[in-house]
């Protein structure tokens, strides 16, 4: 069965520090992975997907099939990055999106 693990419930960093939000997955097929973000009082929204290999708001994420990981990184955190971040895996067999438990990122001034 597919599973997404986000080991940290809370990650607290200072402004300007590097950030890495961890995501590990288990899936026997070829995964499609995503990061979603929920800012305070806003809707949950897609941040980025591994297929596009893009950088959004300074965030990047690389799919590492050997380590079954899809960690989200940003070299210099900003206060406005404070939010709840969810890693998600598309189960291409059942065509459903499975979410991890989420990591709350808190960036302090």
Partner 1 sequence: NAGVTQTPKFQVLKTGQSMTLQCAQDMNHNSMYWYRQDPGMGLRLIYYSASEGTTDKGEVPNGYNVSRLNKREFSLRLESAAPSQTSVYFCASGTDLRSGELFFGEGSRLTVL
Task: Please identify, using beta-carbon distances, which residue of 16 and 93 lies nearer to partner 1.
Answer: 93
CA distance 48 to 23: 14
CA distance 19 to 15: 10
Task: Please identify, using beta-carbon distances, which residue of 1 and 109 lies nearer to partner 1.
Answer: 1
Q: How many CB atoms lie within 10 A of CB 101?
A: 12
The reply to whether 21 sits near partner 1 by the rule CB under 8 A is no
Q: How far is the first Cα of the chain from the last one, in angstroms, to the nearest whole number? A: 41
Give phi and psi for 80, each to the nearest 5: -70, -5
The reply to whether 46 sits near partner 1 by the rule CB under 8 A is yes
How many residues of this chain interact with partner 1, rule: CB under 8 A?
21
Among the residue ranges 16-24, 62-70, 74-82, 92-100, the one whose residues contact partner 1 (CB under 8 A): 92-100
Q: Which residues pair with 72 in a beta bridge?
A: 21, 61
Pick from 57, 78, 97, 108 the residue near partner 1 by CB under 8 A. Answer: 97
Task: Please identify, using beta-carbon distances, which residue of 25 and 86 lies nearer to partner 1.
Answer: 86
Q: How far is the CB of 19 from partner 1 (least distance, A)?
A: 20
């Amino acid at each position: 069965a597919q599973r997404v693990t986000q080991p940290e419930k809370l990650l607290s960093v200072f402004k300007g520090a590097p950030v890495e939000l961890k995501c590990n997955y288990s899936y026997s097929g070829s995964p499609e992975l995503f990061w979603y973000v929920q800012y305070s009082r806003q809707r949950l929204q897609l941040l980025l997907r591994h297929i596009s290999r893009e950088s959004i708001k300074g965030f990047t994420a690389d799919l590492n099939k050997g380590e079954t990981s899809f960690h989200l990184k940003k070299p210099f955190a900003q206060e406005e990055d404070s939010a709840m971040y969810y890693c998600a895996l598309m189960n291409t067999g059942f065509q459903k999106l499975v979410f991890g438990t989420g990591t709350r990122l808190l960036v302090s001034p």
